[in-house]
Structure formats: structure tokens, C-alpha cells
């Protein structure tokens, strides 16, 4: 295994351990993947992240075929493959059962434009994909349908949330943002109905987000 691949595998392990440490996902829940060669690298199923080694990370072909001699991939490998195939701009997928996002997902509710930062996920809201059994093609189809139209993240009804990014660190950061927005939304809702931003304002915000965080290069 070349150093570059070993580093990529270790990065998956490090981010999954960070999920546990931050509370984004506890114990063995949650999973992550990154685009790799003509397929992807993904966390294995049923393994504690604090015990994972780079050799334990599973390589899958783009069609989901798992070459022999490896651990079994995450039970959610299906939507990891399908997301990376459907959205070329995504290079990583992070799936977690974060507390507040999952609470909203268990109500079957999306996160509306109560705060302009919902635009960080690529749209004027953060949608909630309809429920389907974990690990199934039906769940993958539900997620893909919810994310079409430029969304980079969604809630998963009665399940959790999934976020994507141009890199693993970007996908992880988005998962943190989605959880924070879900927490803020639930807190605001406990005080009364939220005053959601109108579509025309969210259109302005989304345009501004195209250059959000960018720095001008020195001349």
C-alpha cells in the first residue's frame, strides 16, 4: 500500500473517531467514504472506530462490487456509491446519527430557512428524505431524490443525516453545520414558530454563498 493510500485510509479513521469524540455519532453508528481511483474507500461494518487500522478500510468499485479478501463494507455502502456516482462534484460522504438532526428526522421534518446558514448545504432549506430500511436500494433512491437540485446534505427520516463535500474534511464540517442548525431550529421552535426567510432573500444568500469564505489572492 502506497503512502498516499495509507494516508487516505487513516484520514477516514481519524474523521470517524472525531465523530465519536464530538458526539456526532456514538459507538459504531455512522460511516464515511471518499472517492478513490475508479471507486471509493469506505469504513467497514460493525467495527469500533478506535480499533480500526488502515488495512481495515474497504475498497469498493464504483458499482459497489467488493473485491475479495477484505472486511465487509458499511451496511450503507449502497448510498455512498450512488451519491458519488450521481454527484461528480462530491468526493466524500459522511453519514451520522447526530442527536438534533435525528430528532427532526424522526418527525419527518426538513430544516426550513429559519436562518440564512441553511444555504451552506446548497439550497434554501435542508430536505428530509422519506424513510426506507437502512442498507437498501430504496433508501439510496430516497436520498438521491432529496438531494437533487444542488443540495449537499439531507436529513433521513427516522434515521439521521448525510452530508457530502469536495473533501472528507468538507463533508465532515457540513455534517457539523447541519447538526448545529438542527439544534438551533429545535431550540427556536421550543419558543414559538420560526420567522423563516422569504425565497427572494434566500436567493440572494445562495448567490453570495458561491464566493463565501474565499480570499482574494495577493497580486
Show contacts of 164-167: CB within 8 Å, 24+ apart: 164/83, 164/87, 164/90, 164/92, 164/93, 164/94, 165/90, 165/91, 165/92, 165/94, 166/89, 166/90, 166/91, 166/92, 167/91, 167/92
Question: Is 110 tagged catalytic?
Answer: no
The secondary structure of the chain in percent helix, strand, coil, rounded to multiples of 5, reads: 45, 15, 40
Considering 5, 76, 110, 207, which one is annotated as catalytic? 76
Task: Measure the CA–CA gap between 119 and 97, rounded to whole angstroms.
Answer: 21
- Supply the residues annotated as catalytic: 76
Amino acid at each position: 500500500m502506497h503512502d498516499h493510500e495509507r494516508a487516505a485510509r487513516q484520514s477516514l479513521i481519524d474523521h470517524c473517531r472525531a465523530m465519536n469524540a464530538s458526539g456526532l455519532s456514538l459507538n459504531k453508528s455512522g460511516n464515511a467514504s471518499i472517492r478513490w481511483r475508479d471507486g471509493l474507500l469506505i469504513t467497514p461494518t460493525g467495527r469500533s472506530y478506535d480499533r480500526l487500522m488502515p488495512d481495515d478500510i474497504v475498497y469498493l468499485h464504483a458499482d459497489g462490487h467488493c473485491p475479495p479478501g477484505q472486511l465487509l463494507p458499511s451496511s450503507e455502502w449502497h448510498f455512498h456509491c450512488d451519491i458519488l456516482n450521481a454527484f461528480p462534484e462530491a468526493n466524500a460522504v459522511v453519514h451520522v446519527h447526530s442527536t438534533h438532526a435525528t430528532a427532526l428526522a424522526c418527525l419527518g421534518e426538513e430544516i426550513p430557512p429559519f436562518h440564512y446558514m441553511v444555504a451552506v448545504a446548497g439550497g434554501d432549506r435542508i430536505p428530509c428524505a422519506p424513510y426506507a430500511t437502512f442498507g437498501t436500494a430504496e433508501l439510496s433512491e430516497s436520498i438521491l431524490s432529496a438531494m437533487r437540485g444542488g443540495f449537499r446534505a439531507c436529513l433521513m427520516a427516522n434515521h439521521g443525516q448525510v452530508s457530502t463535500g469536495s473533501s472528507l474534511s468538507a463533508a465532515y464540517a457540513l455534517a457539523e453545520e447541519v447538526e448545529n442548525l438542527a439544534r438551533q431550529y429545535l431550540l427556536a421552535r421550543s419558543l414559538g414558530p420560526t420567522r423563516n426567510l422569504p425565497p427572494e432573500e434566500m436567493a440572494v444568500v445562495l448567490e453570495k454563498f458561491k464566493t463565501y469564505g474565499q480570499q482574494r489572492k495577493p497580486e
